[in-house]
A and B are shown apart, each in its own frame.
Chain A
Amino acid sequence: QKEVEQDPGPLSVPEGAIVSLNCTYSNSAFQYFMWYRQYSRKGPELLMYTYSSGNKEDGRFTAQVDKSSKYISLFIRDSQPSDSATYLCASPPGSNTGKLIFGQGTTLQVKP
């Protein structure tokens, strides 16, 4: 079993839809969670960075963490074609480390 599980999709939605992207994790040592967006032929770009259980909002993006069920989500409101990318969840297994455990990534396509 992978430490971070993520449905690879692909996920296709119409422009303007609310998108829900999800990950589950198994390691209770995971305390911090990140969401990265990766466009084709580019490196991952940090979108959201959360620690606590609950919600964190940044513009059209909301990250949600539920540590009791080991479940993390990223919501995208009013999705745009420019949101079409692969979304990766990740967590470090400890502090003071450059090691992240990544999910497989979910490919999202937003159709105009």
Chain B
Amino acid sequence: KAGVTQTPRYLIKTRGQQVTLSCSPISGHRSVSWYQQTPGQGLQFLFEYFSETQRNKGNFPGRFSGRQFSNSRSEMNVSTLELGDSALYLCASSSGTGNSPLHFGNGTRLTVT
């Protein structure tokens, strides 16, 4: 079974621009969650989508948004990029029911200059 796939692996953007990251979950998984990982804050939860609906949301500003498609693939968008948005963005998928464990992709490394 293929794992969670994230594209692109690396991105360099300029302050003020916007960016879209993509995530393909494990086949059959209906939940996709997004996390931001930085050396200072560690792994922080952004939001979760389940069956095309946002089910949970973390404490990030509205510049961070996402969506999920009918095939469970998900995209995350960050608008008006700030230098502090430089981070590893990780996507994780699960069945979304009960306490099913999360399986992570290898992330997209975003650098904002």
Given the known inter-chain contacts A88-B43, A105-B42, please indicate yes or no for A99 contacting B103, CB distance below 8 A: no
Binary contact readout B85-113 vs A (1 if CB under 8 angstroms, 0 otherwise): 00000101010111101111111000000
Interface of B is mostly: strand
- CB B49 to nearest CB in A, in angstroms, measures 8
- CB A90 to nearest CB in B, in angstroms, measures 8
Chain B residues with CB under 8 A of A34: 101-102
Interface segment, A9-17, A42-50, A63-71, A77-85? A42-50
Whether B97 contacts A96 by the Cβ 8 Å rule is yes
Measured CA separation A45–B102 after assembly (Å): 9
Interface of A is mostly: loop
Chain A residues with CB under 8 A of B103: 46
Whether A98 contacts B101 by the Cβ 8 Å rule is no
Measured CA separation A45–B6 after assembly (Å): 15
Residues of chain A from 1 to 59 with CB closer than 8 A to chain B in the complex:
31-32, 34, 36, 41-46, 49, 51
Given the known inter-chain contacts A32-B99, A105-B42, please indicate yes or no for A97 contacting B107, CB distance below 8 A: no
Given the known inter-chain contacts A32-B99, A92-B99, please indicate yes or no for A98 contacting B48, CB distance below 8 A: yes
Whether B99 contacts A98 by the Cβ 8 Å rule is no
Q: List 19 A-B contacts (CB under 8 A).
A: A34-B101, A36-B104, A42-B106, A43-B106, A46-B101, A46-B104, A49-B101, A92-B99, A96-B55, A96-B97, A97-B48, A98-B32, A98-B33, A98-B56, A99-B56, A99-B58, A100-B45, A100-B102, A101-B45
